[in-house]
Amino acid sequence: MYDPTRRKVLAAGGLLGALGAMGMMSPARARTLTEWSWPAGDSVAGSGPGVDPHLIWDAKADPVVSALLDDGVVPQVNELLRKWTRNDQPLPQGLPRDLRDFMEEARELPSWTDQDKLATAVEFNEKRGLYLGVLYGLASGMMSTVIPQEALAVYYSKGGADMKTRIAKTAKLGYDIGASNAYKPDGEMVVTAVKTRLVHAAVRHLLPQSPRWAEVAPEEVPISQADIMVTWHSLPTTVMQKLAAWEVPIPEEESEAFLHTWQIGAHMLGVDDEYIPATWEAADDQAAQVLDPILAPTREGVDLADILLGLGEEVDLGIISRPVLGSFTRFMLGDEIAGWLEIPREPFWDRALDTFWDPFVAVREGALDRFPGTSGLYWTFDEFLRRAALLFLSEAKPISIEIPTHNRPE
Ligand code: HEM
Question: Which atom of ligand 1 is nearest the CA belonging to 157?
Answer: 38
Q: Which residues of 319-345 are buried (b: 16+ CB within 10 A; e: fewer)?
A: bbbbebbbbbbbbbbeeebbebbebee
Ligand 1 centroid to residue 144 C-alpha, Å: 11
> Going by C-beta distance under 8 Å and a sequence separation of 6 or more, which residues neighbour residue 121?
182, 254, 257, 258, 260, 261
Out of 155, 156, 163, 203, give the residue to mutate to test ligand 1, the one with the largest number of ligand atoms within 8 Å of its CB: 203
Q: What is the pLDDT of residue 317?
A: 63
The gap between the terminal CA atoms of the chain, to the nearest Å, is: 31
Out of 231, 259, 295, give the residue to mutate to test ligand 1, the one with the largest number of ligand atoms within 8 Å of its CB: 231
Could you report the predicted ipTM of this complex, rounded to two decimals?
Answer: 0.98
Query: Looking at ligand 1, which residue's alpha carbon is closest to its atom 11?
Result: 169
Q: What does each C-alpha distance from 133 to 171, 230, 303, 338 come to in angstroms? A: 9, 20, 22, 20
Burial of 318 (0-12, 13-18, 19+ CB in 10 A): exposed
CB of 167 shorter than 6 A to ligand 1: no
Q: What is the pLDDT along the chain (410 residues), one digit of tens a residue?
A: 333 333 333 333 333 333 333 333 333 344 445 578 899 999 999 999 989 999 999 999 999 999 999 999 999 999 999 999 999 999 999 999 999 999 999 999 999 999 999 999 999 999 998 999 899 988 999 999 999 999 999 999 998 878 777 776 777 778 889 888 999 999 999 999 999 999 999 999 999 999 988 888 878 899 999 999 999 999 999 999 999 999 999 999 999 999 999 999 999 999 999 999 999 999 999 999 999 999 999 999 999 999 889 888 777 667 788 999 999 999 999 999 999 999 999 999 999 999 999 999 999 999 999 999 999 999 999 999 988 888 877 655 567 889 999 999 87
Ligand 1 centroid to residue 157 C-alpha, Å: 10
Question: Which atom of ligand 1 is nearest the CA belonging to 170?
Answer: 9
Q: Sign of dihedral through CA atoms 199, 203, 206, 212?
A: positive
Task: Show the CA angle centred on residue 258, arms to residues 127 and 117, nearest 5°.
Answer: 100
CB of 196 shorter than 6 A to ligand 1: yes
> Going by C-beta distance under 8 Å and a sequence separation of 6 or more, which residues neighbour residue 300?
151, 152, 154, 155, 156, 160, 216
Ligand 1 centroid to residue 406 C-alpha, Å: 15
Ligand 1 centroid to residue 231 C-alpha, Å: 9
Ligand 1 centroid to residue 276 C-alpha, Å: 18
Query: Looking at ligand 1, which residue's alpha carbon is closest to its atom 33?
Result: 154
CA separation for the pair 385, 14 (Å, rounded): 49
Query: Looking at ligand 1, which residue's alpha carbon is closest to its atom 36?
Result: 159
The partner residues of 277 in beta bridges, in order of sequence, read 43
CB of 222 shorter than 6 A to ligand 1: yes
Out of 140, 213, 227, 228, give the residue to mutate to test ligand 1, the one with the largest number of ligand atoms within 8 Å of its CB: 228
Domains in the chain: boundaries: 116-410
Task: Show the CA angle centred on residue 145, arms to residues 144 and 148, nearest 5°.
Answer: 90
CB of 227 shorter than 6 A to ligand 1: yes
CB of 238 shorter than 6 A to ligand 1: no
Ligand 1 centroid to residue 146 C-alpha, Å: 15
pTM of the model: 0.91
How distant is the alpha carbon of residue 405 from its chain centre? 21
Other Cβ atoms less than 10 A from the Cβ of 406: the count is 13
> Going by C-beta distance under 8 Å and a sequence separation of 6 or more, which residues neighbour residue 363?
369, 370, 371, 378
DSSP code per residue over 178-218: HSTTTTSTT-SHHHHHHHHHHHHHHHHHHGGG-HHHHHH-S
CA separation for the pair 394, 410 (Å, rounded): 31
Q: What is the pLDDT of residue 23?
A: 32
CB of 267 shorter than 6 A to ligand 1: no
Q: In angstroms, how far apart are the furthest CA atoms of the chain? A: 70
Question: Which atom of ligand 1 is nearest the CA belonging to 228?
Answer: 26
Q: Sign of dihedral through CA atoms 272, 273, 275, 276?
A: positive
Task: Show the CA angle centred on residue 157, arms to residues 85 and 206, nearest 5°.
Answer: 90
CB of 144 shorter than 6 A to ligand 1: no
CA separation for the pair 33, 398 (Å, rounded): 36
Q: Sign of dihedral through CA atoms 5, 11, 12, 13?
A: positive
Check if the beta carbon of residue 257 is closer than 8 Å to that of residue 117: yes
Ligand 1 centroid to residue 170 C-alpha, Å: 7
Other Cβ atoms less than 10 A from the Cβ of 399: the count is 12
Ligand 1 centroid to residue 376 C-alpha, Å: 39
